[in-house]
Amino acid sequence: MTTNKALLALAMGLALAACTNKQQAADSAADASTAATEAQQAADNTAATGDTAAADAAQASADAAAAASNAASTSADAANTAGTMAKADDAADAANDAADSAKQAQNAAEQAAASADAKTNNDATPEKK
């Protein structure tokens, strides 16, 4: 009886770990998508200022965020279809890394926007007059 309980507990633990990897990957993909959207908003806001150099930099960063978002989504799909827990874990880690890249690219887009005095998503100050 004790062996059966131990095996059941082990199986439940493995199932929980697999679900955690899939959820982590899905959360990372969602975070990356949000970062890409906000980076594009910053690029659009920068383009509206007429500062071509800053707009080009912001758009390049937004494009990088979109690419990272696509990578996170692909990695999340891989985590969902992985045949082993180790592969699901690796795919979830890849999705997390891609989300981090998207957030970095978002930050770069917002820095470019700030350099052109454009509104950014993290701009808590009132609009300049």
Lookup: tokens for 20: 């955690």
pLDDT of residue 70: 97
Residue ranges in the chain whose pLDDT is less than 70: 1, 3-19, 122-129
pLDDT for the residue 20 = 87
Structure pTM? 0.81
DSSP 97-127: HHHHHHHHHHHHHHHHHHHTT---TT--SPP
- The pLDDT value recorded for residue 46 is 97
Residue-level pLDDT at 21: 87
Domain ranges of the chain: 2-115
Q: State residue 119's pLDDT score.
A: 86
